[in-house]
Amino acid sequence: MSTGKTAAKELKPQGDLVFALDIGTRTVVGILGEYIDDKFYLQDYVSVPHTKRAMVDGQVEDIKQVAKIVTQAKNILEEKNGIKLTKVSIAAAGRALKTRRMTMEFDISDRDALTEDMVKSMEVETIQKAQAELDAGSTGRTLFYCVGHSIISYMLDDYKILSLEGHKGDKVTIELVAAFLPSIVVEGLYSVMDLNELEVTSLTLEPIAAMNVIVPPEIRLINIALIDIGAGTSDIAIAKNGSVVAYAMATTAGDEITEEIIRTYLVDFNTAEEIKQSCSNGEAEIEYKDILGNTHKVLAEELSEMLSPAVDTLAGTICDAILEANGGDSPAAVFLVGGGSLIEGLTPLVAEKLGIDETRVAIGGGDFLKNVDECGAKLGAEYVTPLGIAVTSMLNQGYDFSVITVNDSKVRVFDTKQLSVYEALTIAGYKSGEIMGRSGRSLSYTLNGTRHTIKGEAMVPAELFVNERPASIMTKVTQGDRIRINPAMSGKNAAAKLSDILGYERFNEGTVTFGGETYSIGLKATVNGESKDPDYSIQPLDSIETSGIVTFGDLMRVMDAGSEGVEYRVGDTSISDDYVLNDGDVIDAFDSYGNMIGMSDMPETASAPAPVRPAEIRQEASAAVGSAQPAEVQPAAQAAAAAPVSETKNAIPFNGAGMTVEINGEMVTLPPRNGDYILLDLLNSINIDPAVPNSEIVLEINGRPANFSSYITNGDRAVIKVQERTGS
């Protein structure tokens, strides 16, 4: 960075110049150049070593320390070229790399000729499907970013095609392999760039970058493995049949050799690096000073022999990863790039372990660069990846992450052009229940042959704001937007005991005497054919049947007795069918003249008795729907006039009032209110999960497309459901 205002004014804008940084475990390499007519022309380069171990296995461990080294590299290039650098392309090493191979079909029958944007959109949707599959299979809350992808094949109407742009057809099939890294890896790199006031215009994976300048598309018909051997990781890309088909990584790399030198010769890390490089440069004898201050000399031949087991282990680890990524087969050829590729004796060991001729394993330096003009510089294998980063950015194959703030926390998001609030919150780690909320699950059961539903507790929806303005989950967001969310609160699931819906406390237990006979009274209930106590918790789809004698009418049905011309009394009190029997009641019958009569003189009912179910339960069961409270006892006249339960309307009242509509095939009644109802009011009556991968929400009213703000009226048929997305 410039040190004064005068110097800053003298620097020219970066313009179209490409600035690429390869932030390695041992060094930071900067590349400056220009892309003209599909070729990259190198203008300048610099390599600055780390003074401390601020990087481990390709990941930033000490952000401030790495930022200092990046500042040095940036300042050198700025001062030498008179340019103020503000934009940069970078790459990530494959630490904790995850890959997914994904295929997706798209219906394009209603499209005109496919454009570049259309193809890009389909690729992005395929990557998002791979991301969803990765998220579904991962444990914990680790967030992964897509850092690169390669197209394996395009298919148009089931025919393989090189490019989709400009074509028409009915169906497109895209197969690709996508590479993902944990957010901590990507965030570390971006934090270093932020401290240097550099805008990241492209992010890619290191082996993708190297592949683009060593193994371009025209030679990918050959089964080639490219291995970028850094200090901390060995990153692998596999090409065959014209495409890059796999990525892999191994955490064994150049540092393994350095650490062996440290242990054997008692030197610090930097001295060990110097010894290793001297051996690779072909020096016959190497002089060094150990940590005790003693000076020593070691022959390169002796050093190579000491390192032989460590180099053998490195070669074995790399070859195992190559074979696994290549489906168990040895590739036809191998390119080794990166500083670690220069380790003495590594190339023949790789050939031996893969079972291929040594001439088919090469160190990829400047002689192998494609579409790159070094402009006189003779760059070695350690410069292949930074050159590839620059080329990849110009091929538009890198990724641009934008920053969106969610409740004061910054998150980086990919493909913000079509990003919704819901998707941004998901990336930030919010679960669908926190974003959408869910109504408590309803409890449905059958009581004496009639189905009833107790609704779950309503959710409290999330409050959403974008840039302090009210928003919805579908509101689009882009670079720099600020989302604020007060998370939704899901409702409690509906629950009830038998005592809640049957009201046992209203009925007495014991015995009564009638016509000289003793009868047991009290409410009985069976659930799915088994007797249950009043404190039994009702389960979904339980079938509940009630029986027993609780009123005088129930007793009359048991006895098949009639009431024409007869008065029934308990003591001096005349009783009717709805009289609730008490323990110890003695019931007597009297004729129209007031004379007590016996059982033989009582009239019989005109038809066979109905099943014994307490009248209050039979007639008022529907009044408990929508709450778990028992219904009030009806007057005798109403009870006599009420229809049997089996004849009641198949609707679901809500507290006896409101507007009834059908939602997803089930009748619900909304509570009374002042004002109109909209489709959104029905969300509390259903359970959907909008976070299902590759899905979309379908809204309909009476068979026609609708939105959440569409009005609904009594008797409407509504649909709110999640279905699989059919394509782009």
**Residue 71 confidence (pLDDT):** 95
Coil, helix or strand for 671?
coil
**CATH superfamily name and code, 98-399:** ATPase, nucleotide binding domain (3.30.420.40)
CATH architecture of 498-644: Roll (3.10)
Cα 335 to Cα 236, 347, 479, 612: the distances in Å are: 10, 9, 39, 88
Task: Please state the rounded mean pLDDT for residues 212-238.
Answer: 85
- Residue entry with tokens 């394509």: 727
Q: Are 575 and 479 in contact (CB under 8 A)?
A: no
Task: Please state the rounded mean pLDDT for residues 332-344.
Answer: 86
Q: Give per-residue pLDDT as tens, 43-91.
A: 999 999 888 878 777 788 889 999 999 999 999 999 999 999 999 999 8
Q: Please provide the DSSP assignment of 553-579 as one string.
A: HHHHHHHTB--TT-EEEETTEEE-TTP
Q: Which residues face 298 on adjacent strands?
A: 286
- Shortest CA distance to 568 belongs to which of 601, 585, 590, 599? 590
Q: Is 489 exposed, middle or buried (0-12, 13-18, 19+ CB in 10 A)?
A: middle
Tell me how far the alpha carbon of residue 297 is from its chain's centroid: 57
Q: How many whole angstroms separate alpha carbon 191 and alpha carbon 403?
A: 12
**Residue 631 confidence (pLDDT):** 34
Task: Please state the rounded mean pLDDT for residues 485-496.
Answer: 87
Q: How many whole angstroms separate alpha carbon 100 and alpha carbon 147?
A: 12
Cα 648 to Cα 444, 483, 504, 541, 612: the distances in Å are: 17, 50, 23, 19, 19
Q: Are 562 and 601 in contact (CB under 8 A)?
A: no
Residue 250's pLDDT band (cuts 50, 70, 90): confident
Tokens of 671: 């509570």
**Residue 417 confidence (pLDDT):** 47
**Residue 136 confidence (pLDDT):** 74
**Residue 640 confidence (pLDDT):** 29
**Residue 157 confidence (pLDDT):** 92
Tokens of 496: 């009830």
Task: Please state the rounded mean pLDDT for residues 579-601.
Answer: 85
Q: Give per-residue pLDDT as tens, 421-459.
A: 877 787 777 776 787 777 788 888 888 888 888 888 877
**Residue 310 confidence (pLDDT):** 86
Q: How many whole angstroms separate alpha carbon 116 and alpha carbon 128?
A: 18
Q: How many whole angstroms separate alpha carbon 480 and alpha carbon 410?
A: 10
Tokens of 714: 């009594």
Tell me how far the alpha carbon of residue 371 is from its chain's centroid: 39
**Residue 657 confidence (pLDDT):** 41
**Residue 628 confidence (pLDDT):** 42
Looking at the domain covering 659-724, what would its CATH class be?
Answer: alpha beta
* Dihedral sign for Cα atoms in the order 382, 304, 224, 102: negative
Residue 536's pLDDT band (cuts 50, 70, 90): very high
Q: Which residues face 724 on adjacent strands?
A: 695
Q: Which residue has the higher pLDDT, 3 or 390?
A: 390
Coil, helix or strand for 368?
helix
* Mean pLDDT estimate for the chain: 80
Q: Give per-residue pLDDT as tens, 672-719.
A: 666 677 887 787 777 776 655 666 788 899 988 887 767 888 889 999
Q: Are 468 and 415 in contact (CB under 8 A)?
A: no
* Neighbouring residues of 474: CB distance < 8 A, sequence distance ≥ 6: 420, 421, 422
Percent of the chain's residues with pLDDT above 70: 84
Q: Give per-residue pLDDT as tens, 389-408.
A: 988 887 765 555 667 888 88
Q: Do domains 498-644 and 659-724 have the same CATH topology?
A: yes
Return the amino acid letter for 498: L
Task: Please state the rounded mean pLDDT for residues 576-590.
Answer: 90
Q: Are 586 and 513 in contact (CB under 8 A)?
A: yes
**Residue 563 confidence (pLDDT):** 74
**Domain spans in the chain, listed from the N-terminal domain onward:** 98-399, 416-486, 498-644, 659-724
Task: Please state the rounded mean pLDDT for residues 321-331.
Answer: 90
Quick check: 627 pLDDT over 60? no
